[in-house]
Amino acid sequence: MKRYHVTTFGCQMNEHDSERMKGMLESLGYVEAAEREDADLILFNTCSIREAADNRFIAHLGTAKRLKSERPDRVVGVGGCWAQSVKDEVFERFPFVDVAFGPGQVHKLAEFLTSDSLTAQGYFEFEGFAGDLPEKRAREFQGWLQISVGCNMVCSYCIVPSTRGREVSRPLAALVAEVERMAADGVTEVTLLGQNVNAYGRDLPRRGEPAANFAELLSAVDAVDGIERIRYTSPHPQDMKEDVIRAHAELPALCEHVHLPLQSGSSRVLKAMRRTYTRERYLDRVALLREHVPDVALTTDIIVGFPGETEEDFAQTLFVCEQVAYDGAFTFVFSPRRGTEAATLPDQVPHPVKVERMERLVEVIQRRARERAQRFVGRTLEVLVEGPSRTDPTKLRGRSRHNKAVNFTGLAQPGEYVQVEIASATSQTLAGEESLLARAAR
């Protein structure tokens, strides 16, 4: 029996693609190896979003090279966004790689493995969503749903449009059928994935009727029996319309959490980023969300040190963060990416300035998140149990509908929904005790 090992870098789309790769390999008779050393097929699913992502992966390639030289019959494969961004160059730079494929070409791996080709092969077409592959889920009760591939935005810092191609939405009926299959398999929480989820459907053929949009998709998924929670990532502030905001108030399964990437609080920088919204428009979306769902949790992505960002621009980012009081944020130092407009802009911000701004930003984000999290103390929240706590194995860990990690004492099993009385909160996590009264009442 042949054994495989997959190392995944990058975002949830890569996590999902890796689950599909694993499912596909197991259908070909491969089994998963616990360690890379034990594998006949060594795979990397790569990311290229920032330079640090490239470097992390290239360090791993050294190990693969050694393993390949020890046993030349091993197959080394590199998939994902980094592979797409360098294409066939990968074979010149890393001659021990046997197969390379872009994010849209996961299924071609099977073609390669079942052919008797001995030469290095690269697969880099963009052809929309590559069909129904079996999935090997990390947790049987949580599933991903890829609603579209690619991205039609042109954010000037971003490599993704060149690694994932133009946006292609999957038909609504195919998505609903997939969610029904997931629910039949025991999935209760589904996360819809796309680079700009609320542009969903715009590219679908109309045939006289209006194409399905994102709000309609949400309500169709909400109607599937067995789905308790719906999440999605990421919406674009430009396309965050009232119908989607209302859906958060109206659809029982749609969680009270929105990840709304800000990137910068300065309209001038947003323009240079080609983000197509202003600070005012963004704050207006936040106000509308809070009007319809007062308790909504908001998280965001922010880039510090975009070319030309002045102290005044940065102060505006801090101002927005103070004002919104995010429940959490991913903060990134701007990283010039090959082939992007922003990489060649003048006025690149010196590294020490980026680092210093990052420290100030993190202080504001954490302080506001900690303050905001106190609203949960004293409340009883529904938690989906994921497993043991990472820091204390005598405790359990799960997530609230607001997407807060909750560590708690209790009797629950992974996959169960339980009521947890929240006793304390930090910027990142909540802590409490399972309500045994609620357990007894079930």
188 binds ligand SAH (CB under 6 A): no
Q: Is 47 in the site for ligand F3S (CB under 6 A)?
A: yes
Measured CA to CA, the distance from residue 29 to residue 183 in angstroms comes to 25
Contacts of 208 (CB under 8 A, 6+ apart): none
Strand 99-101 relative to strand 75-80, pairing: parallel
Selected from 153, 251, 318, 343, the binder of ligand SF4 by CB under 6 A is 153
Q: Does 155 bind ligand F3S (CB under 6 A)?
A: no
Which range of residues in 24-32, 42-50, 293-301, 429-437 is near ligand F3S by CB under 6 A? 42-50
- Positions 177 through 196 that interact with ligand SF4 (CB under 6 A): 195-196
Contact flag: residue 13 with ligand F3S (CB under 6 A): yes
Which residue in the set 113, 145, 147, 160 belongs to the binding site for ligand F3S (CB under 6 A)? 160
Whichever of 248 and 337 has its CB closer to ligand SAH, that residue is 337
Question: What gap in Å lies between CA 51 and CA 263, rounded to an integer?
Answer: 18
C-alpha distances out from residue 315 to 133, 275, 310, 319, Å: 47, 19, 9, 6
Q: Which residues contact 383 (CB under 8 A, 6 or more apart)?
A: 398, 399, 400, 406, 408, 417, 418, 419, 420
Cα separation, 205 vs 211, whole angstroms = 7
Distance CA(227)–CA(186), nearest Å, equals 9
CB of 172 to ligand SAH, least distance (A): 21
Task: Return the one option of ligand F3S, ligand SF4, ligand SAH, none that residue 163 interacts with (CB less than 5 to 8 A, by type).
Answer: ligand F3S
* Beta pairing partners, 432: 408, 422
Sheet holding 229-233, edge to edge: 142-146, 189-193, 229-233
Query: Which C-beta is closer to ligand SF4: that of 97 or that of 158?
Result: 158
- Which residue from 105, 146, 163, 234 is in contact with ligand F3S, where contact means CB under 6 A? 163
Stretch that binds ligand SAH, among 97-105, 321-329, 334-342, 419-427 (CB under 6 A): 334-342
For position 151 contacting ligand SF4 by CB under 6 A, the verdict is: yes
Where helices occur in 252-338 by DSSP H, the ranges are 267-272, 279-292, 311-324
- The reply on whether position 155 binds ligand SF4 by CB under 6 A is yes
Binding site for ligand SAH (CB under 6 A): 49-50, 157-158, 160, 195, 234, 236, 261, 263, 301, 303, 332, 334-335, 337
Binding site for ligand F3S (CB under 6 A): 10-11, 13-14, 47-49, 80-81, 159-160, 163-164
Binding site for ligand SF4 (CB under 6 A): 151, 153, 155, 158, 160-161, 195-196, 236
